[in-house]
Structure 1
Amino acid sequence: MYTHEDPVVIDPEGSDIQGEIRRIRERGPVTEVVLPGGVRAWSVTGAAELERILSGSEVSKDPHQHWPAFRNGEIGQDFPLLNWVNTRSMFTAYGSEHRRLRNFVAPAFTNRRTSALEPRIRGIANDLVRGLDAAPASEPVNIREHFAYPLPLRVINELLGVPEHLVGPLRKCVDGIFDIGLSEAEAVANYEEMIGLLQTLVAYRRESPGEDMTSTLIFHVDDPAKDFSAHELVGTLYLTVNAGHETTVDLIDQSIYLLLSNPDYLAAALDGRLSWTDVIEEVLRFEPSIAHAPLRYAVRDFSIGDVTIAEGDPILSCPADANRDPEIYGESAVRFDPTRTNKGHMAFGYGAHRCPGAPLARLEALLALPTLFQRFPHMRLAVSPEELGTVPGFIANGHDRLPVFLK
C-alpha cells in the first residue's frame, strides 16, 4: 500500500547521498522512494525500524520467492539493480537456504583465519607506504587510488587466490557493479564479463589448488556429500569480491578524509589519547561504506510505525541514516565524534545477514590507518571537500578521488 504521491526519486549517480537521505528521512523513518528504473520501494531510515526489518521474519532477500514483480517477469533486464538481486548467493537467499550457503563461507572469516592474515596485511600496508614515500612532496597524491584502493584489493585477491592476470580485469568489473548509472548494455556486459572471470578463476584453482577460499569452495563442490553447486560457488565468489573489496576501500577512504578534516582527533590517535578502534567504529557509524542496501521484500503484509507494507513490496535499507538517528545518538548524531560513548552501528548489517567479513574489514583499517599516518603525520587535503566527488551510484559511500599532500 503506497501512500505518497510524490516519493523521493533516488539519484542513480549518488551525487549527494547524505543530502538525499535527509530528504527521505524528513518524510518519516519508513517512506516510499523510487529506485533507478522506476521501481517503487520502501526506504527504512529509522534505527529501530531498520533493526526490526533486518532481524525479523517479515522480510526476505530472495526475489525468486518473495518479489512477485520479479518472479512474474515485470522486472526487465534494464533494471539498474538487477545484478544486486538476481545473482544466486547467500546475499539473496532466505531462511534455511541462506544458512546453508553461509555455512560454506563463514569458515574463511573466523577470528583465527582473520588474525592469521594480520602479518600479510601489515606487510601490504608497509609496502604501499614505501611506494608513497617516493612521491614528490610538492605534488598531490590520490591517496584513495594509491593506498585505500590497492590494500583491500590485494587482501581479497590473496584470500580468494586470484592469479595476477585476473586482478586488473576483476577490478574493472567491480567498479562497474557499483556504478548504477551504466546503460543496460554496459551493465549486462560488465556482469557477464565478471562471471566469466570468476569461472576462469575456478578453472585456474581447480588445476592449481592452494590455501585459499576458492580452492576450499571447489572442494565442497566436488564432494558429493556437500549440497553446494558450481553455480553457487561462482555466486559466492561474486558476492565476496564485491562485498569484500569496495566496502573496505570506502572505509579506509572515509577514515582518511574524516581524520584530515578533524586534525584534533588525528593528533589524539597518533599520540595514543584516542584508540584507532574508536576512530574506525565512529567512521563506520558516521559514513558507512554502504549508504543504501538493496533489496528486501515483504514476506507478508505487516505494519511498522504508521505505515503498512504489503506482501511483495521491495524494501531498501538505509544504514547511512539509521546510524545517525537522533533517537539513538542524540543531538550529536550528525557530528563525527570518535570520543562518543555509543558508537554502535549497522554498517555491516544486522541479524542473519550481518556481513561475515566484518572482522577482516576492521582489521584492514586498523592496520592501514596507523601505518599511513605514522609515516605521514602532516598529510593534508590538496583540494576542498567539494572537489572530491563521489563514487558512482547510490549504494557505495566513498569519494571519487582523495588528493592529498603527504608531507
Structure 2
Amino acid sequence: MFKKLKSLDYKWIMYDVGNSAFILLTASVIPIYFNSLATSQGLSQDQYLSWWSYAMSFATICVAIFGPIIGTLSDFPGNKKKIFLLTALGGAGALFFLWLPSTWYSFLFVFVLIKVLYSISLVVYDSMLIDVCDEERMDDISSRGYAWGYLGSCVPFIISLAFILLQPKIGISMGTVMTIVFMINAIWWICFSLPLARHYKQKYSTKRTGAAVQQTFKRLGNTLKELVHQKKVMYFMIAFFFYIDGVYTIIDLATAYGTSLGLDQTGLLLALLLTQIVAFPSAIYFGILAKKKSTGSLIKVGIIAYFCIALFGLFLQYTWQFWVLAVSVGLFQGGIQALSRSYFAQIIPKNQSGEYFGLYDIAGKGASFLGTMIVGLVTQITGQQNIAVGTLAFLFLIGLFVFSKADKIENPVYN
C-alpha cells in the first residue's frame, strides 16, 4: 500500500510541512490579531472582513502578474533553487517581523508581501515535483506532502495557541505574545525550507538562448497562444480556477468569517486545529485511492463535497456548526489540493514545468481573488456573511462542469 520514499521525496515533502505553518496561521491567528488591531482603530466588523478580503484579493493580483513570469524564468538551468530560496526565505523573514507594524493598514501591507512571496515560492516548489519523482508516484508524493504539511503545521500552531491562551496567566502583553508567535512560525518555515534547497537538482530545463528577461516574456507569450490548442490543459485550468477558488476562499476566510459572526475565538482556533488533524489521514487516503480509482473521478468527489460545504455555510450560526464545517473541510481539502497538483503535473511538458505552474498558480493557491471579492462585496451589500459564503457554491458548480469536460480528453503527448 505504501511505497518506500527516497531521500529527495522526504526533503520535498518537508517544505509542505514548513510553509503550511504560515497557511494555518493565516487561517487562524492572523485574522484574529488583525480584527483586534482594526477594531481598536475604529473599523467595524463588516469593514474588518471586507478589508481582509480585499487584501487577499490584492495579493492574488500580484501573484497573477509575477507568478507566471518568475515561474517561466525558473525553467532556465539552475534557476529553480535560487528563486525558491529567495522567495521562501524572504517570506519567512518578513513573517518574523510581522509584529512591527502598529497600524491596521501597515500590517496588511506586510501581510500581503508575505503572502505574495509564499505563493511564488509554491510556483517553483510545485514545479519541482517533476524533477523529484516519476509520473506513477506523483499522486502518492503530492498527497503525502499535503498530509504531512497539515500534521506538521500543528506543532508551531499548538505552541502558538498555548502562548495565546496562557497569556493572561503568564503576565506578558498580547503584543509580546504575537511577537513570539510570528517568530516561532517563521523559524519553522525556514528550517523546513533548507533541506530541499540544499539537495534539490534541476533535471528538466529550457535552454537559454539570449537575454533571460526577453526570452522569458517571449516563451510565456507563445505558451499562452499554445494553450488554445492544448484542450485538456486549458479546460483543466479553467475548471481549477473556479473550484479551487472556492476551496481557498473558505480556507482563507474561515476564521475571519466565524469571528465576524461573534463566535468564540478559542473554539474557532481549536476547530481549525481539528481540521489539520483530520486532513492528515484523509489526504493520505486520497493518495491510496488514486492507485485504484482515476485521479479525475476523485477530484470530482472533492468538488461535489465542497459544493455541499458552501451550502452548509448559509446556515452557520453556532460554534458547533463551525466544528462540523471544520471536519468537513479537513476530509476533502488535502485530497482535492494534492490530486489537482499531481493531475496537472502529468499533463504538462516537463521542461516547462515552472512556466506552467506559474499559470497554474494564477488559478490555484493565489487565485482566491474572485471568491474573496464575492464575499467582501456581498457582505457589504447585504450585511449577511452567510449569504456571501453560500454564493461560493456557484464556483464549485462551474468547476465541476468544466473539469468533467477536461477529464474526458486524452492526456497530451509532448516531444
User: TM-score, normalization: structure 2?
Assistant: 0.30
